[in-house]
Amino acid sequence: MMLAYDPVVNGLRQGCLVKISGAPTKAGDPDHNGKLGQLGEFDAGAMTFNVAFFDGASVNFDVNHVVLANNLAKPGEGGGEDSFDLLLSSQTSPQVLGEEVSTCLFEKGFCVLRSAQRAEDSEKALEAAKELDENGKFFRFPEEVEEHYLGEGTTGKCFWLDPDDHKTFQDTLVLGYDAGLTTIASLIQPYVEDTCGAQITERSPALLTIPFKGDVEEDDYPSPEATDKVLGTFLTTWRRQVLRIVQCVGPTSVALALARKDDSPAVERLPKLKEDVEITCERGTMVIFRCNCFDLECKSSGETLLLSAALLKPCPEMIIESVEGDLELFRTISSGPPAPPGDELANVMAMGSRMAANWDEPEAAFTGLLSSTDAVVKIPLRRFDIDIYYHEDMNAMAPWQTYCRHMCVVEAAEYFDNKLFEISNMETQGMDPRQRMVMEVGAKVLAGIGITKTTANRQVSNAGIAVGTDGHEWPSMPKGDLGACGNSSNALGITANRFSFTFNMRGPNFLIDTACSASLYAAHYIKTSLMERRWDPLEWCLAIGVQLYISVDGFIGCSQAHMLSPEGRCKTFNASADGYQRGDGTNGFVMKHGNLKDERYGLFRGSNVNQDGRSASLTAPNGPAQEQCIWGAIREARMTPPESSVWECHGTGTSLGDPIEVGAVRKVQIKNPRSEPLMLASIKANIGHLEGGAAMSAMVKCILQVSSTTCCPTGHFRSLNPHLEHSTFDAIYQTECAHFHYACGHSQVSSFGFGGSNGHGIFWGEDICDIGDIKVLAMSKIKKRPYPEVRPVGRNPDNWDSDWPAVDAKDGDKYTVTIDQDDTDETPIKWELKASPRDEEQEEEDDIAFYEITGNFNEWTSDRMMAGSVTGVFVTTVEVPESGILEFRFLADGDEEKVLGPAAPKCTRKTEKIIGPEKGLKNSWMVHGVAGMELEVQLLMSKKWRSVMWLKPAD
């Protein structure tokens, strides 16, 4: 092991404080005789010590000219204004430093530290602060709090230093001084509770201060008005501060005075405390003082920089005990987009889904969407053998081949409970699978409003259904002899007709095929029928979108047109987007007219459809036409674009379509400023493109989003498509689950057919989920409100009147906060002290004459305990039962309704909190021991302390 060379020469050791004496001075060199410094390295050959002075200079001296600095008086103990308690340097032991500072704080209430600091470092730090001032970062405190932050007699300009803000302030020298304050705090933290009577758990941000040089500069910084926020921030820090640290960075010294408070701790607890202490702070001087002992006074004679911070005790934790009144108040929507006025509304009452990944309910689909799940699989043999037609090279494949072999598959689509719908086996055998899917999902949707096949058989409904789909693959599939059922099984229009027939519905019935936007068209027109109340008003209406791929023909055709993704994924918004992915799925929802606030999932607030007209080509998207369609829906919804929360894009994942669609959204959104970014997402990255049923899956997602005020993420999004306009409007391409800014909002959906048929829908809703822990919500609402009012009367902040909890608040105090429904977001909170239970509890405890012990050792009867030799202590001896486990608790006055026990059941810890007296308490202490062994049980009950102890009598 290598040992450091640390000699003792003339009684001197490296790191000690020395004085220079008798050293020769050359012409032109400074005279160091009489100066104090810290001993550095020893040169054995030259017999010299290196001495570091407080001004940062370092000089070598002969050992005979360096003497130990003895009998130096400390500040407050006979020392001069420039004296100090401890020297800070790299040689200072951290442990010794923490102990010595704590000793000074205990004996006299303050400590002065001195460190070596070069003049050029002080100048550099001051210049860095001035640069902040030139950039307008400095401010002035209101006069009510200025002297308490800076010290009486000082006015100046200030800046809160945030070490994590690397943009505003980057000076490493000043940040190093700030880090030094944290180091000092960490060294003295273990001792503060014993020396000062309070624990410190955190420190305030460092405050940079440049005192004003004169009236002219002070006039440039007029004292601002003291707001409740400024006063409240100050008051919370003032009440919690245990110690203050003031460091003079320099270059000019400042005169500090610590004026003893009238109500400072008793002199016998601070044997070296003086009435007033005056300290001259040269650069590199740090003063730490107890805030309950001294008030600070400060005077500067020149331009200088000060750094200060407060070391704080724990913040009182306010725990909500109960919430009384109208709990619906916590679900009120104060700032979010409101519901449309009136009762002419389309209410979404129920939903149904059957999609890939076994998402057979909307809730299952929502769980998968929140998790950004991908439902893509290789096409199963149950559909067709894709490997026969597959070719991996899209540029070399034959006209009968496809480069795609993945899709989102709805499992068990071939199974159907025909008896539930009273359909014969022969007709079922030839029925188009899409008809089956519409029947199954539609029945689940109607069950949500209380309609079943049985009830529908008994009562006719004036209700309508619209189905959106595209393509018709079933007629080309082999089916055998269907007899008279062949036409109805193969006809596309029967998909909607059969449902009305089965469920006894006499309202409008139609199927729409506009390609990819078909189901949004269906929802739009059936909603229009529902809202027309003049001639034949509908009771309710159902909109369904369906898609099921049962033939390879569509994959071959789309592959030949290079529309599908070679990777089998729909990568909406992503830079690698290369086409879309096909997927199965059936979704739907039912609507009712009126204002059914307590029953609905949300509102289908507005919709619009149009056509591209003449554009670049038949299948090329038309941005202006899409924008026109969106504006029509917004006008019907009677809202403004900034009220949009989520935008569910058509987002097929093509390099052409996605930028055109987002461009139309941008043109709509840039008309008015937004209060929060618009969230953009698309469901196709999760379940593929359902083509004719795609819009309905997106609409169900929108309903789920507004009813939970949550935006689902977009999958397969890694790098933004460079052609998308992102920085030109306030929007986020959502890659993670996110909550709305308010408890309500809009989710808008766009859908565009590849032939130019455009549709747009707008859904509004508020969070219908469980509002959660009411106490958490109440505290959250309290924290969002403005600071309580503070009325600064007089100079002592301890005497200020305020609506904050009392300055002498103790554990157990109870406060009442009233939140009225007429309050606005700007109404301040007011804490009102309830009748404190402490006095009542204390009176009750004072009335207790004796305590009894009960447990399994005496079959839970009670034995009186003897008074101990110390007031408040009660003692008894018990025997451990044969089981080797002793259980016990206490009864005040022997009353079974005044039980005392541990906070935890079957507690083995002596340090557990003791609760009670209270009725019905069953918790008990549990001690393991040898059967028959005697234990002495002691109970301490005083005004301030409670404790329990068990030990062998011999101990």
Q: What is the pLDDT of residues 736-763, one digit of tens each?
A: 999 888 888 999 999 998 888 999 999 9
Residues 312/234, Cβ–Cβ less than 8 Å: no
Percent of the chain whose pLDDT exceeds 90? 43
pLDDT at 839 exceeding the cut of 60? no
Residues 357 and 223 in one domain: no
pLDDT of residue 277: 87
| Token pair for 48 | 């010299």
Q: Is the bond preceding 917 in cis, omega lying within 30 degrees of 0? A: yes
Residues 952/936, Cβ–Cβ less than 8 Å: yes
Quote the distance between the C-alpha of residue 791 and its chain's center.
32
Residue 904 sits in a domain whose CATH number is 2.60.40.3620
pLDDT at 7 exceeding the cut of 80? no
Element (H or E) spanning 528, and its range? helix 518-531
Residues 63 and 101 in one domain: no
Within a domain: residue 318?
Answer: no
In eight-state DSSP terms, residue 152 is: B
Q: Distance of CA 585 to CAs 582, 643, 808, Å?
A: 10, 31, 65
Residues 898/891, Cβ–Cβ less than 8 Å: yes
Q: What is the Cα–Cα distance from 863 to 727, expressed in whole angstroms?
A: 79
Which residue matches tokens 């003897």?
866
Residue 60 sits in a domain whose CATH number is 2.30.30.30
pLDDT at 410 exceeding the cut of 70? yes
pLDDT of residue 804: 81
Q: What is the DSSP string of 34-102?
A: T-EEEEEEEETTTTEEEEEETTS-EEEEEGGGEEE--SPPPTTTT--TT--SEEESTTS-HHHHHHHHH
Within a domain: residue 297?
Answer: yes
Going by pLDDT thresholds of 50, 70 and 90, the confidence category of residue 701 is very high
Within a domain: residue 457?
Answer: yes
Among residues 603, 660, 623, which one has the least CA distance to residue 345?
A: 603
pLDDT higher at 894 or 41: 894
Residues 180 and 271 in one domain: yes
Within a domain: residue 337?
Answer: no
Give residue 107's region: left, alpha or beta (phi > 0; psi -120 to 50): alpha
Residues 732 and 874 in one domain: no
pTM to 2 decimals?
A: 0.59
Residues 151/235, Cβ–Cβ less than 8 Å: no
Residues 435 and 500 in one domain: yes
pLDDT higher at 717 or 166: 717
Residues 143 and 267 in one domain: yes
Among residues 875, 853, 873, which one has the least CA distance to residue 863?
A: 853
Residues 29 and 120 in one domain: no
Average pLDDT, the chain: 86
Mean pLDDT of 316-324: 76
pLDDT at 105 exceeding the cut of 70? yes
Q: How many Cβ atoms are within 10 Å of 190's Cβ, its own excluded?
A: 13
Q: Identify any residues that bridge with 399 across adjacent strands, giving them in sequence order.
A: none
Mean pLDDT of 280-306: 89
Q: What is the pLDDT of residues 15-56, one digit of tens each?
A: 777 888 878 887 777 887 877 877 778 887 888 888 777 776
| Residue range(s) defining the domain that contains residue 58 | 8-68
Q: What is the Cα–Cα distance from 463 to 541, expressed in whole angstroms?
A: 5
Last residue of a domain, one of 804, 833, 862: 833
Going by pLDDT thresholds of 50, 70 and 90, the confidence category of residue 333 is very low
Residues 164 and 288 in one domain: yes
pLDDT of residue 2: 42
Residues 743 and 791 in one domain: no
Q: Distance of CA 536 to CAs 404, 463, 464, 540, Å?
A: 49, 10, 11, 12
| Token pair for 793 | 């009367």
Q: Is the bond preceding 566 in cis, omega lying within 30 degrees of 0? A: no
| Token pair for 177 | 């001084």
Q: How many Cβ atoms are within 10 Å of 918's Cβ, its own excluded?
A: 12
Residues 524 and 427 in one domain: yes
Question: Exposed e or buried b for every residue in 603-634, given b needs 16+ CB within 10 A?
Answer: bbbbbbbbebeeeeeebebbbebbbbbbbbbb
Find the range with the poorest average confidence among 16-30, 305-319, 609-623, 857-871. Answer: 16-30
Q: Identify any residues that bridge with 588 across adjacent strands, giving them in sequence order.
A: 352, 544
In the chain, how many domains are there? 5
pLDDT at 3 exceeding the cut of 50? no
Secondary-structure breakdown of the chain: helix, strand, coil percentages, each rounded to the nearest 5: 25, 30, 45
Residues 522 and 594 in one domain: yes
Q: What is the Cα–Cα distance from 701 to 366, expressed in whole angstroms?
A: 7
Among residues 835, 854, 857, which one has the least CA distance to residue 916?
A: 854
Q: How many Cβ atoms are within 10 Å of 391's Cβ, its own excluded?
A: 15
List the beta strands (DSSP E) in 594-730.
Answer: 602-611, 644-648, 678-681, 710-711
pLDDT higher at 733 or 10: 733
pLDDT at 1 exceeding the cut of 50? no
Residues 568/405, Cβ–Cβ less than 8 Å: yes
Q: Distance of CA 949 to CAs 771, 880, 940, Å?
A: 44, 15, 9
Residue 227 sits in a domain whose CATH number is 2.60.120.620
pLDDT of residue 119: 82
Q: What is the Cα–Cα distance from 239 to 806, expressed in whole angstroms?
A: 10
Which residue matches tokens 């550099």?
124
Last residue of a domain, one of 815, 833, 851: 833
Sign of the alpha-carbon dihedral angle for 592, 596, 602, 607:
positive
Within a domain: residue 815?
Answer: yes
3 state DSSP class of 365: helix
Q: What is the pLDDT of residues 117-135, one digit of tens each?
A: 888 888 898 898 888 888 8
pLDDT higher at 254 or 63: 254
Within a domain: residue 339?
Answer: no
Element (H or E) spanning 178, and its range? helix 172-196
Within a domain: residue 778?
Answer: no
Instruction: Please measure the distance between the N-terminal and C-terminal CA atoms of the chain and give it in whole angstroms.
Output: 46
Residues 58/51, Cβ–Cβ less than 8 Å: yes
Residues 183 and 274 in one domain: yes
Find the range with the poorest average confidence among 86-100, 267-281, 335-349, 507-521. Answer: 267-281
pLDDT at 167 exceeding the cut of 80? no
Among residues 584, 606, 378, which one has the least CA distance to residue 469?
A: 584
Last residue of a domain, one of 18, 37, 68: 68
Q: How many Cβ atoms are within 10 Å of 568's Cβ, its own excluded?
A: 21
Find the range with the poorest average confidence among 28-42, 281-295, 690-704. Answer: 28-42
Percent of the chain whose pLDDT exceeds 70? 93
Within a domain: residue 332?
Answer: no
Going by pLDDT thresholds of 50, 70 and 90, the confidence category of residue 768 is confident
Q: Per mean pLDDT, which of 393-407, 661-675, 930-944 is the most reliable?
A: 393-407
